[in-house]
């Protein structure tokens, strides 16, 4: 006699793939955050926040994006801001990373399934050292945030006459937001008031770059920074492309906005370079701004779109398709142009599975951005460059905006919520999470070439 499996067993069977559990974990965090931000205690007025505002803010925080429909410092109470900060921290470290840490602390042992889940979230290449990797991630993150918070707090208190209590609070908030590439600020103008302050700008930019490099790259540099020959392909691509994109972004944005009276025009020469570098760094998916994004020229918005879509390093707090994905596609193109059969990076050959993954992530990302842009154009009165900027910012979990987010209709806000969630979980991860199981063919079909181009 056949009996039907219990409900909990059927649900467990549906969530066997680590990607599925990660997606459910982030979704659960969004739901919990929405509930907490919907409480009357979360707002300064003592009234319940609108459901869409609570959902949008919770999603933006968990997905470390930074887009907001209401002023973070002026609308949310201390409790509400604390909830946002915790959601940012949880989203930056990763729901599964935190869950793995708690498992280690409580039981001192880690099951095989938990190791797989942590490996999927941290992108660890060795299954046996996931526990150590997770521990290092948490300790490194907290230590980095503490150093950044200390620098910012001292600067706020000594240079801007903030009371020490407020300076420390603002320092901690901006440090956590910066390292996790979130872009949330307690100031209504983000960091525009500090545009000429190198202590604030460079400290925040440094935290953004460090968090956006990716934990595997950072740990490898700490381990063998004196031996570049021993660096992995991941580290080489990430470092080279990060430096190139930061430099090109600084040059393009500084030159494009050099005489713009709404952005860099009123600043002195060195201050323009500082603001240009800061703007380029924030497109690494951080979301802070020291100049008015809405006042930028169309060419600057387009350049920012490209930089935001590429994003930062893998397994870090940055979003976008990642610099490694972009780098792999560049090497694929280079190899194809040279007529080479294999794709080589240095003295290593890149497997075909990595190439397909990079192509899938890029195409899914482009599809998501184009579809969202088309929908936003249909339901909003804004022009193409502004709407495209908003869509890319949401998908790449950047948080930069030309100022239209708060004025968007509810259906547009909901679309951005979906984009932010998809961008944080990852197009390929989200797609695999929807699949119940892998399907492997047990046969090979005859090969036939087709015309390309």
Q: Domain for residue 353, yes or no?
A: yes
Specify the range with the lowest mean pLDDT, choosing from 11-15, 224-228, 287-291, 382-386: 11-15
Q: Domain for residue 447, yes or no?
A: no
Among candidate residues 198, 178, 207, the one with its CA nearest the CA of residue 267:
198
Q: Domain for residue 448, yes or no?
A: no
Other CB atoms within 10 Å distance of the CB of residue 65? 34
Q: Domain for residue 250, yes or no?
A: yes
Q: Domain for residue 359, yes or no?
A: yes
Structure-token match 């941290």, residue found: 122
Per-residue pLDDT tens over the stretch 273-332? 999 999 999 998 888 999 999 999 999 999 999 999 999 988 778 889 999 899 999 999
Element (H, E) at 343: strand 343-345
The pTM (predicted TM-score) of the whole model is 0.88
Cα-to-chain-centroid distance, residue 228: 27
Domain count, the chain: 1
Q: Say which DSSP state 351 is in.
A: P
> End-to-end distance of the chain based on CA atoms, in angstroms?
59
Phi, psi values for residue 349, rounded to 5°: -100, 130
Among candidate residues 86, 89, 49, 87, the one with its CA nearest the CA of residue 70:
49
Q: Domain for residue 255, yes or no?
A: yes
Q: Which pLDDT score is estimated for 96?
A: 56
242-259 average pLDDT score: 96
Report the C-alpha gap between 229 and 226 in whole angstroms. Answer: 9
Q: Is 209 helix (H, G, I), strand (E, B) or coil?
A: helix
Q: Domain for residue 66, yes or no?
A: yes
Give the chain's length: 453
Per-residue pLDDT at 395 exceeds 90 = yes
Q: Range of 42's domain?
A: 17-430
CA distances from 60 to 20, 67, 129, 192, 238 (A): 20, 6, 31, 21, 25
Element (H, E) at 348: strand 348-350
Q: Domain for residue 364, yes or no?
A: yes
């Amino acid at each position: 006699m056949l009996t039907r499996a219990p409900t909990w067993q059927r649900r467990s069977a549906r969530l066997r793939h680590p990607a599925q559990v990660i997606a459910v974990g982030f979704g659960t965090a969004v739901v919990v955050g929405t509930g907490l931000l919907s409480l009357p205690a979360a707002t300064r007025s003592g009234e319940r926040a609108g459901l869409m505002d609570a959902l949008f803010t919770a999603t933006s925080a968990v997905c470390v994006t930074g887009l907001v429909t209401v002023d973070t410092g002026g609308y949310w109470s201390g409790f509400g801001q604390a909830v946002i900060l915790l959601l940012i921290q949880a989203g930056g470290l990763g729901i599964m990373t935190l869950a793995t840490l708690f498992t280690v602390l409580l039981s001192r042992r880690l099951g095989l399934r938990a190791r797989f889940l942590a490996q999927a979230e941290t992108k660890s290449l060795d299954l046996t050292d996931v526990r150590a990797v997770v521990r290092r991630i948490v300790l490194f993150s907290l230590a980095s945030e503490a150093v950044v918070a200390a620098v910012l707090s001292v600067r706020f208190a000594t240079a801007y006459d903030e009371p020490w209590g407020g300076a420390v609070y603002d320092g901690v908030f901006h440090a956590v937001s910066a390292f996790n590439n979130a872009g949330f600020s307690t100031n209504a103008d983000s960091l525009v008031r500090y545009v000429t302050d190198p202590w604030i700008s460079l400290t925040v930019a440094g935290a953004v770059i460090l968090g956006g490099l990716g934990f595997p790259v950072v740990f490898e540099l700490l381990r063998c920074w004196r031996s570049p020959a021993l660096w992995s392909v991941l580290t080489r691509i990430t470092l080279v492309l990060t430096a190139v994109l930061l430099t090109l972004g600084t040059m393009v944005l500084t030159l494009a906005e050099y005489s713009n009276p709404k952005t860099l025009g009123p600043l002195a020469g060195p201050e323009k370079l500082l603001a240009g570098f800061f703007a380029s760094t924030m497109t690494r998916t951080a979301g802070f701004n020291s100049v008015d994004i809405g006042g930028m020229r169309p060419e600057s918005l387009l350049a920012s779109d490209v930089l935001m879509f590429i994003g930062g390093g893998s397994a870090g707090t940055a979003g976008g398709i990642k610099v490694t994905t972009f780098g792999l596609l560049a090497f694929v193109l280079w190899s194809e142009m040279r007529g080479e059969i294999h794709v080589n990076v240095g003295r290593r050959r890149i497997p075909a599975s990595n190439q397909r993954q990079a192509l899938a992530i890029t195409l899914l990302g482009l599809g998501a951005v184009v579809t969202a842009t088309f929908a936003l154009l249909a339901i909003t009165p804004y022009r193409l460059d502004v709407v495209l900027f908003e869509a890319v910012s949401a998908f790449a979990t950047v948080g930069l905006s030309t100022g239209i987010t708060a004025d968007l209709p509810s259906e547009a806000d909901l679309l951005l919520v979906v984009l932010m969630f998809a961008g944080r979980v990852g197009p390929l991860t989200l797609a695999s999470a929807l699949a119940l199981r892998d399907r492997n063919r047990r046969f090979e079909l005859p090969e036939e070439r087709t015309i390309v181009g």
